[in-house]
Amino acid sequence: MTTALIPSTAGVARAKDAATVDAIIIGAGYAGGTVARELALKGLKPLVLEARNRIGGRIWTSTFAGAQVEVGGSWLGPQQTLIHKELNRYSLTTFEDVAAEQVILPGDQGFQSHSPADAYNSIGQLFGEFYAGSENYFERPHDPLYRSDLLASVDPLSLADRLGQLQLSPTELKWLNSETSVYSGGPSTRGALTGMAQWIQLSGGSYGTYSTTMSLRPTGGMTAALQAMFNESNADIRLNSPVKKVTEANGLVTVETAAGATFVSRVVVVATPANVWKNITFSPGLPAAHTQATTQGIGVPHATKMWVHVQGNVPATAAQAGEGSPILLMVPQQQLSDGRLFIAFTGPSLNVANAADVRAAVQQFLPGANVLRYQAMEWAKDPYTGGGWGLRRPNQLLQLFPHIEQPHGRIVFAGSDIAKGWHGAFIEGAIESGFRAAGQAAALA
């Protein structure tokens, strides 16, 4: 723990004017919240600097059409134990999300409706072939490098490479590449096979068990547990405080915000998305793995989540379309008195600013649908995300790990993008990395 008096040391920017704190956490998402709570439990009082005017980052519970909605992450799986421990700790509950009554899939001639059981059995069998062997190269999925000998030949493969190895009909290819391109945030050439294969093995090895990661929603919204963590931490949270500079010298780290405020501590945790580390000036400069991660990006380049309100009594329809389509995946949400809500994950080909294009894209799945309103969040254009959810690129697993988890002097890194287990697209990974980072930070404080 630091003391109140910090000497004015050369190389520490304006240290003598700066407020001195036990630990500084940059970013108030689930990773930052976990670090704040865990450091508080170790007797430290952290300062949290958050760029936005809210906590949550890629989690954002809001409203649309009078209903509570999630602009970022929505769902939890029963197999994600860390978030469930947090929900239990704060007496928060979950509920099962709306189940699809029909599934619209591309067929040989246009879209066709299937029963959910038929659709997901067929897709599940194909994904079974797709992920064959992952039980070996991810023998211990929480310890992804355990079989690095086997990973050497798998890590370079993109999701598209793996699709190309299978004997798929054009229709089967669309059934799989709708999902691989959604997660890749663009073409399936971008996402690594090891990224999605690890999630499958973390889920128990099958597409069916993995699908449950989209089954549960927390009552009170995805932000509720994070708010409870920050409440317990009693941390000093400064919103609207984007950090622009982090300088370490003489055993101290100085953090400077865009507005010019400076804070000093013996340890700093950077809990921002990896894609935006490059927007902060680090001195000394970041190590090679961190530079590679922020330059190449782990957060995907296209991640647009759209809420759509379709008039009338509409069947709970799930839909998928092949790579390149305007909407790649549509998920039914609640029926309201005047219409049903849907979540749509769009592809880069849809201009969400054009209402006519959005309506036409929805009508591909629901002919004649009257779109009353919609709202789209283009996460990859957000300056404090710089990408969407995370999904590793080919080769990043072996090139970045384990270096990416290591502190850089007195600077520690956290975030779902660099989690060992549920990396990238899950708050489970943000929490996991937060526990690891809190341990590292406490040792340096």
Ligand X SMILES: Cc1cc2nc3c(=O)[nH]c(=O)nc-3n(C[C@H](O)[C@H](O)[C@H](O)COP(=O)(O)OP(=O)(O)OC[C@H]3O[C@@H](n4cnc5c(N)ncnc54)[C@H](O)[C@@H]3O)c2cc1C
Among the listed ranges 116-124, 228-236, 327-335, 378-386, the one in contact with ligand X (CB under 6 A) is: 378-386
Among 21, 105, 269, 276, binds ligand X (CB under 6 A): 276
Does 73 interact with ligand X (rule: CB under 6 A)? yes
Contacting residues for 346 by C-beta, under 8 A, at least 6 apart: 304, 306, 326, 327, 328, 352, 361, 376
Q: Least separation, in Å, of the C-beta of 409 and ligand X? A: 19
Q: Does 184 interact with ligand X (rule: CB under 6 A)?
A: no
Q: In angstroms, what is the minimal distance from the CB of 368 to ligand X?
A: 28
Q: Does 72 bind ligand X (CB under 6 A)?
A: yes
Contact call for residue 265 and ligand X (CB under 6 A): no
Q: Which is nearer to ligand X, 79 or 311 (CB)?
A: 79
> 3-class secondary structure for 378-425?
EHHHCCCCCCCCECCCCCHHHHHCCHHHCCECCEEECCHHHCCCCCCC
203 binds ligand X (CB under 6 A): no
Question: Should residue 350 be labelled a site residue for ligand X when binding is judged by CB under 6 A?
Answer: no
CB of 216 to ligand X, least distance (A): 10
Q: Which of 141, 185, 326, 388 binds ligand X (CB under 6 A)?
A: 388
What one-character-per-residue DSSP string does 67-104 give? EEEESS---B-TT-HHHHHHHHHTT--EEEPPPPSEEE
Q: Does 177 bind ligand X (CB under 6 A)?
A: no
**What torsion do the CA atoms of 279, 284, 289, 295 make, to the nearest 10 degrees?**
30
To the question of whether residue 111 is assigned a binding role by annotation, the answer is no
For residue 256 the two structure tokens come to 């400077």
Q: What is the sign of the dihedral through the CA atoms of 181, 185, 187 and 191? A: negative
Q: Is 18 annotated as a binding residue?
A: no
Q: Decide: is 384 part of the binding site for ligand X (CB under 6 A).
A: yes
Q: Is 99 exposed, middle or buried (0-12, 13-18, 19+ CB in 10 A)?
A: exposed
- Give the other-Cβ count within 10 Å of 172's Cβ: 18
Residues 396-425 binding ligand X (CB under 6 A) are 415-416, 425
Which of 30, 12, 23 lies closest to 48 in space, CA to CA?
Answer: 23
| Binding of residue 270 to ligand X (CB under 6 A) | no
Rama region for 286: left / alpha / beta (φ>0; ψ in -120 to 50; rest)? beta
Q: Is 56 helix (H, G, I), strand (E, B) or coil?
A: coil
Looking at 24, 36, 59, 298, which residue binds ligand X (CB under 6 A)?
59
75 binds ligand X (CB under 6 A): yes
DSSP state letter for 36:
H
* Least Cβ distance, residue 360 to ligand X (angstroms): 22
Q: Report if residue 28 touches ligand X, rule: CB under 6 A.
A: yes
Say whether residue 196 binds ligand X (CB under 6 A): no
243 is in an annotated binding site: yes
User: Does 50 engage in binding with ligand X (CB under 6 A)?
Assistant: yes
Query: What's the rounded Cα separation, in Å, for the pair 286 and 281?
Result: 9
345 annotated as ligand-binding? yes
> Which residues touch 40 (CB under 8 Å, ≥6 apart)?
46, 232, 233, 234, 235
Bond preceding residue 402 cis, omega within 30 of 0: yes
Residue 200 in the binding site for ligand X (CB under 6 A): no
Q: How far is the CB of 138 from ligand X (least distance, A)?
A: 19
Pick the piece of the chain touching ligand X (CB under 6 A) from 48-56, 101-109, 287-295, 324-332: 48-56
Q: Which two tokens stand for residue 310?
A: 């379709």
Nearest distance, CB of residue 261 and ligand X, angstroms: 12
Site string for ligand X, 119-158 (x = CB under 6 A): ----------------------------------------
Q: Cα dihedral angle (352, 357, 361, 363), rounded to 10 degrees?
A: 130
From the list 256, 202, 190, the residue with the least C-alpha distance to 426 is 202
30 binds ligand X (CB under 6 A): yes
Whether the Cβ atoms of residue 220 and residue 92 lie closer than 8 Å to each other = yes
C-alpha 292 chain-centroid distance: 19
Cβ-based nearer residue to ligand X, 172 or 241: 241
Binding residues: 50-51, 243, 345
Binding residues for substrate: 345
Q: Can you give the binding site for ligand X, defined by CB under 6 A?
A: 26-32, 49-52, 57-59, 72-75, 242-243, 271-273, 276, 279-280, 303, 305, 379, 384-385, 388-389, 415-416, 425-427, 430
